[in-house]
Amino acid sequence: MKAEVDQNIIVYFRGEYLPLSQARVGILTHALHYGTGVFEGIRGYWNDAEQELFLVRPREHYERWKQNCGLLHIDVPESAEHLCEITAELALRNAFHTDIYIRPLAYKSAERVGVRTDDYDAFALVALPFGAYLPDRGLHAGVSAWRRINDNAIPARGKICGAYVNSVLASDDARRAGFDEALLLNESGHVAEGATCNLFMVRKGQLITPSVTENILEGITRASVMELAWHQLGLSVVERPIDRSELYLSDELFLTGTAVGVAPVVRVDHRPVSGGEVGAVTSEMQRLYVDAVRGYLPAYRKWLLPAFASQQQAEERGGQLLKR
């Protein structure tokens, strides 16, 4: 087996801080067979001037995670607050002075055969050094032949492990066909989202995104972009169905997500968008988002948890909150 991640990084697994090499699951684990897990993705951005690692909206991510776990009757007993503390502790123990990605995963952990679930749940938090997820240039996206999963089959808003087969199929086909990312239509033929990101379109002076009832993940970056658009650019985002052909006629397109950030799309299905160049709203949004998550915009510090400072404060407040 080829391990792509340093096996010595410290992860939080079943209530303990362990090297990744010791955090293992058995071959009969329910979630491995039936996809019965719920995961999250959280970013941490390194700010060199402040020597600080800013976790981006960790509380919102953990609240979404705990709620989504309820879809599968998975219980994560820790509060969102405590999960933030554990995450900051992971950053500290690993001494990350770089951009990172945090992968929380809660899952049905019983080791036996059969889809029936029971009360054996477990969770892990893994934090990894992590750079750019998509190429750092205008992207070429392709509309996938795979349809986005429907809410009454598997809820797309749930970040459910098994549901990501849908994203894997679409993304893999797109890459084999030479595209950078897949765009998925839902069963009613409207644009839903990318394989791992939400989509925004500029058309006729409006900034438009599919509404949350179009079988999308209710993205936290999507919400951040909506807030930035309104407060910084004076644009109120219109949430409405988007037709496939509107993608081809759009003035600008961009993708949003924890991993991708704000990523411009300059071609869709071999048709140029915005003359094949990154448009004005997109590049402004990219700049605003990067500045916000690196801590350069005071008004958006509210989104950030300074991992190192928060752990130091916790220790000063009354000894160690978390045993090292």
Asked if 219 is part of the footprint of ligand PMP (rule: CB under 6 A), the reply reads yes
- Among 2, 66, 159, 302, the active-site one is 159
CB 242 within 8 A of CB 198: no
Q: Which stretch, 18-26, 130-138, 212-220, 298-306, contacts ligand PMP (CB under 6 A)? A: 212-220
- Residue 92 or 106: the one with the smaller Cβ distance to ligand PMP is 106
- Binding mask 117-156 toward ligand PMP (x if CB under 6 A, else -) reads ----------------------------------------
Encoded one letter per residue, x for contact with ligand PMP by CB under 6 A and - for no contact, window 230-259 reads --------------------------xxx-
CB of 7 or CB of 188, closer to ligand PMP? 188
Q: Which of 110, 217, 226, 228 is the binder for ligand PMP (CB under 6 A)?
A: 217
- Chain positions 23 to 82 lying near ligand PMP, rule: CB under 6 A, are 41
Does residue 174 bind ligand PMP (CB under 6 A)?
no
Nearer of residues 92 and 263 to ligand PMP, judged by Cβ: 263
Q: Which of 127, 220, 247, 292 binds ligand PMP (CB under 6 A)?
A: 220
* Among the listed residues 87, 167, 209, 310, the single contact to ligand PMP using CB under 6 A: 167
SS3 track for the chain: CCCCCCCCCEEEECCEEEEHHHCCCCCCEHHHHHCCEEECCEEEEEECCCCEEEEECHHHHHHHHHHHHHHCCCCCCCCHHHHHHHHHHHHHHCCCCCCEEEEEEEEECCECCCCCCCCCEEEEEEEEECCCCCCCCCEEEEEEEEECCCCCCCCHHHCEHHHHHHHHHHHHHHHHCCCCEEEEECCCCEEEEECCCEEEEEECCEEEECCCCCCCCCCHHHHHHHHHHHHHHCCCCEECCCEHHHHHHCCEEEEEECCCEEEEEEEECCEECHHHCCCHHHHHHHHHHHHHHCCCCHHHHHHEEEHHHHHHHHHHHHCCCCCC
Q: Which residue number, 122 or 197, has a Cβ lying nearer to ligand PMP?
A: 197
Q: Are 260 and 134 in contact (CB under 8 A)?
A: yes
Q: How many CB atoms lie within 10 A of CB 130?
A: 17
**How many CB atoms lie under 10 A from the CB of residue 95?**
10
CB of 217 to ligand PMP, least distance (A): 4
- Whichever of 254 and 308 has its CB closer to ligand PMP, that residue is 254
Q: Which stretch binds ligand PMP (CB under 6 A): 3-11, 191-199, 230-238, 279-287?
A: 191-199
The reply on whether position 193 binds ligand PMP by CB under 6 A is yes
159 included as an active-site residue: yes
Indicate the residue among 148 and 308 with the shorter CB distance to ligand PMP: 148
The residues that are catalytic are: 159
Using CB under 6 A as the criterion, which residues of the chain lie in contact with ligand PMP when the complex forms? 41, 167, 193, 196-198, 217, 219-222, 256-258
